[in-house]
């Protein structure tokens, strides 16, 4: 097999060889235009080749690290960069060594830390747990500052299941959310995102909105059964039939009134809009009712929709549903069916839900997200989001807030151009 590295670096210059001299140069100071140009101009010397570059700016302060081969005159190379840095008023440090960066360990992961706020003690706790597991933090970047703060840590050398267990404990202790997901190509490309509707995509429980039109006593009865079902205390199918029976005699017109009363969860439009721009496919599966869910899905650009259908005779609700009830097994089956229709493996799916009825779907997905969920659901999901903003899920997928805002600004500008 051809060694691609020796195709790029001729014999004697391959930076992975331990005897090849290299230099790590680090510049720090106030950022300004032209710093990078000045540094690389100074490095333009015989035998000097760029091996690695890291640059970050925080509150106007620049840190630039450059790893290069030492070249024919190592001391002259370092002196040239020191002069360039001094002219810019920047501090320069240089470390001589051999070889390229040490190869990163296997099991590369992303650890996403999300909170409002994120306190130093939480970051220390997460970092400590990562170290205890023998893993290393290779890189950190901020994905968002508002309405929540999100930090993404590139981690190598850790076991994902063990890290997820340990970091869940740390998240609970500090009131933050922590997600562990694979790095690399597994995070890129096409995906299918499927959401629950009631108390996830929307703030309401549709059946409770319908019950409001049947009087306060019916409303209380429905709410009590809903809560027991969401906690997993009673079978969902049975509970749905019990609640829908309470609606018997309501006019069909209440459905249209409820449609107008539904409130989207904060961030729901942003989540859907951004994922669609990225070429992802969206679906919803609901234990609620297609009469309300379908128009909402169409408005948001959601492709796949599954929900229960109310029986209506002569313009009146009969208190029954048509066909099989969309229970937890049906939700998981729908996720698999949608993925197959898209030609995607289950590893490329994301499921978002809040109740016991979502557990099978969350378990089946490549990434299961418990959104402001019941304790039992939080314990079993891959990760949790406990802030009231649905677009926080974007950060779990590695999408920074700045990119979302830039895309929105471009779309707005195009509307008026």
358 is catalytic: no
Q: Do domains 109-186 and 193-401 have the same CATH topology?
A: no
Active site residue 406: no
CATH of 193-401, one of 3.40.50.1000, 1.10.3720.10, 2.40.100.10, 3.90.700.10: 3.40.50.1000
d(CA 386, CA 113): 12
Q: Each residue of 186-217: pLDDT tens digit?
A: 566 789 999 999 999 999 989 989 999 988 88
User: 196, 204, 358, 360: which one is catalytic?
Assistant: 196
Q: What is the CATH code of the structural domain delimited by 109-186?
A: 3.30.70.260
Please provide the CATH number assigned to the domain covering 14-98: 3.30.70.260
Dump pLDDT digits (tens) for 376-410: 898 898 889 999 999 999 999 989 998 888 888 88
Q: In the chain, what are the domain boundaries?
A: 14-98, 109-186, 193-401
Active-site residue, selected from the candidate residues 31, 100, 177, 198: 198
Q: Tens place of pLDDT for every residue, the chain, 417 residues?
A: 334 444 444 444 454 556 788 999 999 999 999 999 999 999 999 989 999 999 988 889 999 999 999 888 888 888 999 999 999 999 999 998 887 766 656 778 999 999 999 999 999 999 999 999 999 998 899 999 988 999 999 999 889 889 999 998 899 899 999 999 887 665 667 899 999 999 999 999 899 899 999 888 888 888 888 788 767 688 889 999 999 999 999 999 999 999 999 999 999 999 999 999 989 999 999 999 999 999 999 999 999 999 999 999 999 999 999 999 999 999 999 999 999 999 999 999 999 999 889 999 999 999 999 999 988 898 898 889 999 999 999 999 989 998 888 888 887 877 776
């Amino acid at each position: 097999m051809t060694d691609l590295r020796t195709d790029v670096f001729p014999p004697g210059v391959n930076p992975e060889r331990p005897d090849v001299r290299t230099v790590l140069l680090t510049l720090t100071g106030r950022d300004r235009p032209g710093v990078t140009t000045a540094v690389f101009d100074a490095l333009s010397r015989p035998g000097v080749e760029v091996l690695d570059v890291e640059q970050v700016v925080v509150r106007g302060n620049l840190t630039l690290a450059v790893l290069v081969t030492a070249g024919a005159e190592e001391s002259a190379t370092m002196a040239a960069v020191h002069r360039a840095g001094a002219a810019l008023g920047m501090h320069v440090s240089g470390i001589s060594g051999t070889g390229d960066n040490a190869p990163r360990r296997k099991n590369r992961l992303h650890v996403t830390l999300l909170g409002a706020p994120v306190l130093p003690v939480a970051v220390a706790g997460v970092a400590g747990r990562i170290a205890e597991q023998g893993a290393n933090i290779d890189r950190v970047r901020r994905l968002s500052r508002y309405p929540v703060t999100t930090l993404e840590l590139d981690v190598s050398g850790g076991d994902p299941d063990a890290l997820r267990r340990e970091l869940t404990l740390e998240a609970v202790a500090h009131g933050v959310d922590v997600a562990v997901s694979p790095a690399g190509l597994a995070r890129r490309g096409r995906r299918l995102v499927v959401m629950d509707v009631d108390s996830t995509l929307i703030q309401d429980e549709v059946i409770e909105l319908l019950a409001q039109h049947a009087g306060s006593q019916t409303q209380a009865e429905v709410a009590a059964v809903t809560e027991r079902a969401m906690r997993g205390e009673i079978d969902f199918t049975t509970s749905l039939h019990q609640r829908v029976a309470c609606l018997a005699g309501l006019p069909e017109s209440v459905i249209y009134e409820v449609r107008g009363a539904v409130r989207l969860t904060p961030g729901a439009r942003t989540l859907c809009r951004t994922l669609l721009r990225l070429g992802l496919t969206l679906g919803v599966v609901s234990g609620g009712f297609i009469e309300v869910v379908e128009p909402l899905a169409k408005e948001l650009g959601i492709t796949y929709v599954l929900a229960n259908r109310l029986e209506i005779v002569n313009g009146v609700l009969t208190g029954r549903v048509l066909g099989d009830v969309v229970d937890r097994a049906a939700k998981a089956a729908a996720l698999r069916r949608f993925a197959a229709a898209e030609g995607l493996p289950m590893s490329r799916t994301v499921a978002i839900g809040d109740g016991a009825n979502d557990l099978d779907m969350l378990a089946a997905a490549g990434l299961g997200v418990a959104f402001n969920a019941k304790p039992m659901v939080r314990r079993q999901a891959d990760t949790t989001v406990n802030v009231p903003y649905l677009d926080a899920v974007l950060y779990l997928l590695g999408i920074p807030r700045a990119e979302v805002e830039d895309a929105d600004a471009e779309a707005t500008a195009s509307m008026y151009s």
